[in-house]
Amino acid sequence: MPNEIYSKAQTAIVIADTTDYAGDIGTRTDQILLAALADGASRQSDKVDLAISGAYLAARYDVYAAIEFDVAPADLKWMDFYVGFSPSAVAATANPGGCSGADAAYTGSAGSTMDESLKQLLHLGSLSCTNDAATVVQFQYIGSFVAAERYACFVVDNNSGQALEGDDVEMGIRIVPYTYEVQ
């Protein structure tokens, strides 16, 4: 009888604001402040440790976003999500695309355009915005990745035409690591 290989979800990594988050996408593990992120602006997370057990990485990571707008964006607008991998746990060391490794506005590398800097990161996908404002959390699967390194910085680029809600109560990025199990 042949063995079967199953994909098994591990404990989620939830990147959200430490002072405000009380959302339904899991227990907050890492920091990003998304409150009032303006249209045309970008925000980066603290450097995140992707290891699931000791130094082991998962086979894949699925990414979801929970976003709330202050004013309803027009249909067909979007928000882009990126990740930059690093071999170092130190915040400001070995980060691509000008990521600082700390929760802050993301402006890319000094001397480069934002587009040039974002191209050094892995584009995970886009949240397709609906015409909904405050009280409606837009939750969407963004994409998957295989970790190139143990540490990562996540970047949110707002192209929605509107600012995000003024608080972070329900906003964040949920990353679900998956391992394979043979039975």
> What's the whole-model pTM score?
0.96
pLDDT in tens, the chain (183 residues): 688 999 999 999 999 999 999 989 999 999 999 999 999 999 999 999 999 989 999 999 999 999 999 999 988 899 999 999 999 999 999 999 999 999 999 999 999 999 999 999 999 999 999 999 888 999 999 999 999 999 999 999 999 999 999 999 999 999 999 999 998
Rounded distance between C-alpha atoms, residue 92 and residue 41, angstroms: 21
* Fold (CATH) for 5-182: Jelly Rolls (2.60.120)
Nearest to 155 by CA among 75, 53, 81: 81
Rounded distance between C-alpha atoms, residue 91 and residue 145, angstroms: 21
